[in-house]
Each structure stands twice: as structure tokens, then as C-alpha cells.
Amino acid sequence: MDTFSPQIAADQDYASAQSITLNEQERQIFTEYAQLKKVCANDYLVSEGDGDTCFYLLVTGNLVKEQSGKAKMLGMYQQLEEGELIGLLSFFTEEKHLNSILARSDSEVAIVTREIYDSLLSEQPLLWKKLQSIGLHMMRKHRLSIHLDKLFGPFGVMLPFVLTDIENELEWVTLPSGQTLFRQGDVPDGAYILVAGRLQMTTKLLDGREVVNDAILAGETIGETALLTNQPQAHTVYAVRDSELVKLSNYSFELMLQRNTRAIHNIAQILGKRLTNLPVEKGTTKAPVRCISLLPANDSIQLSNFAEQLCSTLSEYGSTKHLSSDIVNSELATEDIAQSHENEATSLRLVEWLHSQEDDCQFLLYQSDQKWSEWSARCVRQTDQVIVVAEANSEPNLASLAPHLCGERQRWSLVLLHDFDTDRPRNTAAWLKSASPDAIYHVRKEHAADLARLTRILSGNAISLVLGGGGARGFAHLGVIKAMEELNIPIDMVGGTSMGAPIAGIVAQGATADEVMQRAKQAYHKIIDFTFPLVSLIAGKRISQTIREQTLGWDIEDYWLPFFCVSTNLTTALPVIHQRGDSWLAIRSSVSIPGVLPPVPHGDHLLVDGGVLNNLPVDIMREINPFGVIIAVDVAPPVGPKAKSDYGTEISGWYLLIQRLFPWLKAPSVPSLGSTIMQAMVAGSALKRQQIIEQKQADLYLNIHVKGVGMLQFDAQAKATKIGYKGSFDRLKAHFKSSDKSDEKSEISQEE
């Protein structure tokens, strides 16, 4: 994403005197198309507050504009020149006239109706474009006057003169969504007023994280802090909606402050508000999703039905409005206004209207046209999240859309629609050959649960589950999953490390709690195949075979639920986040406890258990699910093994073996090999664990002490499951305040 270039984005020509008046030849063409009308002396051509569907050109005579408010009481008028356009602002905005127009002498005007204006587009395109330029200039100047009065005023009757003084110092900037206005550390060269649109301010912290501050709305200033302090910009500011700004030079900004004593007070309030704005909760690098756009992957996909369904489910989380080009044209009562190009008067009106809809609704759902159009491009620019919708069984091809979805800050996802009775997604990887979405979601048509899951994710209400490592203690996760199902708490996305990875993988395949428990019971009761410990305690053949059987040959992108697991690259000493590709390789790598299981070769690298660096990857899930609920399940022992007796610095394994064979022999009490390896492995991620607790990174942190179950005690599944169930049910119930089935615990809780 490039910082905007004034040579490209600034509209200097619109502010020039030549561009906002008609020349003699243009006036002549104008009068040939328009209808002529006589206005007698002392009659009003238009009155303040009137509505109109036409505008006028003063041909001959003497017309004056009566100023409104206090200026009118003082008898202040503005003389209109022959050839001047009247009512063009009201014509484009369809708002009431802001002033009255009085004839001081008999005069003649040319009337341009909507029909005549539309005919100019095809018959006199240059004149039509000129009218657009003039209208845009008028709209900008009017909007600016409103904002100047709020920011620096009120200037009262002096405002027109102030505008005249600084007009040549102003620089109008059109900033498309996704482009950057300035970056943190840039040298300030002026202040900006946001006339229309929406900007986002971010701050890069000392630790390298970029956190999101509150949005900047129309009528607010940007960059004034650096200008006043003569310091580099403290923030990066970029457009999240198509935006119109006016740049105030140092001179014009200082003039504003000098002309009105209240200006300094107003600016101080703005600065105070901005300084107190904290980054959004949890320090996320993403802004909340307010506007979502739907794009068809190809001509065969029909968006209307899906858009209506999604709009209905979104409305459960706040007021929602569905916008298509037809809906926009209808509501604004203007043909093809949705297809307005940038730097047209109608485009500014459209931007302002869309902004007002955003103020009125919690969510806006934009529906693109079937074929790429100006409205389709605006849908992409105007929204926080772009959703490309495709039929799962259609020919995978996103090449035509890819160029429109490559913005640095543009988030986009792929939704694949499946038939209702689809047992599992297949061949999702083929869709990724021509484009790389940030996320992939699988939705079965008319499947309420799938649509509800997608809606929770898009609206920022997703419930995600993070399962930590702990060897056989990880079977406690099964009890948590059972408790969530009984309490009707959905799982929308899931991730895990070590033993948490295979269990999370079964959940992500769409299995119910009972299915997860049954598959785990069948798979993991006999996976220990000890070997001579040259590389590891366990050969790994059984567990490799088990994971292959459990993953069913699925790629991660084929899972019904978004899924990730974590391994550690032993070669680079860096964590690896698995979100694509072979699920078997990912999960097998994630469970490879160093010293217990052999490392997994991956090219020139060796992958081992993710718990070495991140045994409870809440931070990864927070990036994926920045605003939803995160449930973190920690089954690692709270403390490591303790020395129960002083056995010195040397110990004989053979002696311990004999002692086990002959228990009446006295032998030193020593920690088990498994507990030692486990605690040594997770020691590296102990700091992350502490941060999760202290910083409350998870919305619900379940620290389940699986007492009496060893790391390699895989025959204790039933015991660990019961502990997980009992240790989570009441806390889950309290957190979600669920009533469904919450008074009846299943048989799993009846511990013997």
C-alpha cells in the first residue's frame, strides 16, 4: 500500500477559477438545451428551504443570493454574475436550497431539468463533465464550511470571507480506501480535515506491534498535533472508506486559529480526546468489522439469496442493511448513482450517503454486481471484509478477482458453498492456486448451523477453542468439549498444540462431542511403542498410523471449521503455524515431544512439539479471532517435579528397574522420565502461559489440573475426560449464562 501522492490524488484543477465557471461557448450550448424563464424584479427565483429537481443558469439580469441566518438579518447579499449556475448543489445532493435568490431587476434564466441534464451525458459529454466538476467543487466547499464552523468557530457571518482568504491555500485530496495518508515518523507538511469517509489511525509500539486506535470520522482533523508541536507524525493514518479531505497549509491553519479565539479551545479538545483514545481492546492489529462485501467468484454464482440469508442472521447481532446497486439507486432515487466514478459530484453524494448508513446500522452488507463494475470496485473499497462466494463444485478459478484483492490492508475470505448433504469438503487447495485468501469458510446450503457459524465469525462474535499440550492429560479436553455441547456453546474455530492438536483436528472435521470421544478412545489407547532410546523413547510408528487414520487424508483447508496447530522448527528455533496443507504432517509434527517421539523431517528442517515454544497458542488465536470469545484449556502441570529425596547427582536406571521388580527393596524417590521431559519441554513457553493469565488474553482460561494422570498414561482417557468435564462445566455455564441442559450433567460427571 503506497502513501498517497499529491500529484496523483490531489484535485488541484477543481479549485481553479476556470474549472468552476462556464466559458462563452459552454453557455451557448447550455442555452440551446435548456428552457428559458423570465424572472420579474423583486420576485424570488428560489426560496430558502425549497426543494427542486432542476438548476439554473443566469443568462441576463441582476440576481442576488440572500445569506441565511444572522447575515440575512443584516441585509447581506451576494451578487450573482451572468453565466453563473444556481441551485446546482441542491440538484446534486437533492437537499433543500440553502439560500434564497432574489431578482433586483427583470432577469432571464435557463432551466435545466433532470431529463435535460441526463441527455448531456451522451450528447455533450465534455459539458456534462464540467458540470460534475462544478458540482463537486460546490459540494466540497459547502461541506468544508460546515466542518470549519464546528472545528474553529463559529465564524458566523465572517465564514464566507475566511473561506475566500484561504481558498487558494486549500488542497483537496481524494483518498481511496486502503491508501495511506501519512505514516508514523513522516515530517508534517499541513493538517487535514476529513470532509467525507472514514480513516483509521494506528500506532507502532516499541515492541514492533501495530495497534489500532479509534477511527477518524467526517468533520475531524488529522495531523494537527505534529503541525503544532513541529514533531514527526506519531501515527499512521490510512483510509478504510473512500474519503474526501482538504489539506490546510501551515499558513491557513494558523489563520484559522487567529481568526477565532474559540478555535484554540476547540482544537485543544480534539487533541485531548485523541490523546486519551486507547488502542482497541486486547491490542489487536485489526479494526472491528462493520461493513462486509460479497463478490461472486464467477458469473454462475447468484448472490442475492445468500446475501439475504446472511443479512438475516447478521441482524441477530445488530441492525443490518443489505445494499446492492439496485437498492442504492432506488433509495437515492437517482439512476445509476451506484456506478458513479471518483471525482464526480454524484460520487461524493454517494460516499456521504453510505457513510450515513454506516452511522445508522451496526452492519452493512454490500452485494457486488454479477459482472465487475464501478459498484463492485466500491464494494471492495468501502468494506472491512471482502467475501468471495463460490460454488464448491464449480471450476476453481480466482485469477480474474485476484488483482482487485491485493491491498496491503485488505482482508478477504473465500466462502465455498456445498450441497446440503455434503459429507466433507474436498479439493479446496485447487482454489488457492490463483489466489491466497486470509481465511476459508465452508458452508452447506440451507444448513442453519453453518450459516450461523459464518455469521458469528464475520460479526466478531465467534467462539474459539484453544487446546494446550500435556501428553495423556490432554484427554481432559474431551470433557471440556462434552460440557460445551451440553451447554449449547458452539465451537466456531479451534486450534491446539501437542495433544491438543489431534483432538482439535477431530473437532474441526465437524464431529460431535460423542464422536470426538469415541474416535479418541479407539485411536489413542495403544500408541506406545517403546524402542531403544537412541533418538527417542517411542518409535512413533503406532502414533503416526493413528494420526493418519484420524485425519482421514484431509487437508487443513478442507476442515469444516477453521483450524490451526503449532509445531516448533528445531532447525530455526522458530514456531510454525499450520493452517494449510497436509493435516497429518501438521498434527504429527505438533505432538512430537522431544526425546519421546522422533522429530518430523520437513524438507531440510526438523519439526518437533509446538509446546517447546507455545504450549497454549492463545496469541495465535487472538490474531485469527480478534474480537470474539477465546476459551483456553491448559492441562499442563502447574508446577514441575520436586525432589522428594536427595539421591545425589547420579542414579542407576538398572537399580530402579530392579527396585520395581522387587518393591520391598528401598530405593530413592525420583521424578519420572515423562514428567521431567514434559516440564523441560514446556519451560520455554512458561512466560507465554503467565502472560495469558496476567494479561487475560483468553476470555475464559480453564486451568485443569489432571491429577493422577501421567504424561504417557494413555490408558487413563476415561479418568482424564471426567476431570476435564467436572473442571469446566460450572465455569462454562457461569461464563455463558446458559440455561439449556445446564441443570443436568451427563453420566460422564458421575465419577466413581
For 510, counting Cβ atoms within 10 Å of its Cβ (0-12 exposed, 13-18 middle, 19+ buried), the class is middle
The DSSP annotation for 298-320 comes to: STT--HHHHHHHHHHHHGGGS-E
User: Which of the residues 413, 498, 590, 728 is marked catalytic?
Assistant: 498
Cβ(685)–Cβ(612) under 8 Å?
yes
**Alpha-carbon distance 391 to 416, whole Å?**
6
In the predicted structure, residue 673 carries a pLDDT above the cut 80: no
Residue-wise pLDDT tens digits, 277-307: 544 444 455 667 789 999 999 877 889 999 9
Binning pLDDT at 50, 70 and 90, where does residue 742 land? very low
> In 3-state terms, what secondary structure has residue 485?
helix
**Alpha-carbon distance 266 to 254, whole Å?**
14
Question: Residue 537: how many CA atoms within 13 Å on its side-chain side?
Answer: 13
In the predicted structure, residue 5 carries a pLDDT above the cut 70: no
pLDDT for residue 365:
96
> Is-catalytic flag, 165?
no
**Which runs of consecutive H residues, i.e. helices, occur in 48-124?**
70-73, 88-93, 114-123
Residue-wise pLDDT tens digits, 152-204: 655 555 555 556 656 666 788 888 888 899 999 988 877 888 888 889 888 88
pLDDT for residue 226:
64
Q: What is the overall mean pLDDT for the chain?
A: 81
In the predicted structure, residue 553 carries a pLDDT above the cut 50: yes
In the predicted structure, residue 579 carries a pLDDT above the cut 60: yes
Cβ(361)–Cβ(273) under 8 Å?
no
Residue-wise pLDDT tens digits, 466-480: 999 988 899 999 999
Sign of CA dihedral 315, 321, 325, 326: positive
Per the structure block, which three cell numbers stand in for 586?
501438521
pLDDT for residue 298:
80
**Alpha-carbon distance 42 to 105, whole Å?**
7
pLDDT for residue 334:
83
Model-level pTM? 0.78
Out of 107-111, 113-117, 599-603, 742-746, pick the least confident: 742-746
Regarding predicted confidence, which is higher, 536 or 602? 602
Binning pLDDT at 50, 70 and 90, where does residue 139 land? confident
> Is-catalytic flag, 742?
no
Percent of the chain beyond pLDDT 70? 76
The DSSP annotation for 600-664 comes to: EEETTEEEEEGGGT-SS-HHHHHHHSSSSEEEEEE-S-SS-----S--TT---HHHHHHHHHSTT
Regarding predicted confidence, which is higher, 702 or 51? 702
In the predicted structure, residue 603 carries a pLDDT above the cut 70: yes
Question: Residue 219: how many CA atoms within 13 Å on its side-chain side?
Answer: 9
**Alpha-carbon distance 511 to 578, whole Å?**
20
pLDDT for residue 1:
40
Cβ(418)–Cβ(445) under 8 Å?
yes
Amino acid at 331: E
Binning pLDDT at 50, 70 and 90, where does residue 659 land? low
Radius of gyration for the alpha carbons in the chain, expressed in angstroms and rounded: 33
User: Which of the residues 384, 492, 609, 634 is marked catalytic?
Assistant: 609
Instruction: Report the DSSP beta bridge partners of residue 65.
Output: 78, 101
Residue-wise pLDDT tens digits, 200-251: 888 888 877 778 877 888 878 888 776 667 788 888 999 988 888 888 777 7
Sign of CA dihedral 593, 596, 602, 603: positive
Q: Is the peptide bond before 296 cis (omega within 30 degrees of 0)?
A: no
Regarding predicted confidence, which is higher, 525 or 239? 239
Cβ(576)–Cβ(612) under 8 Å?
no
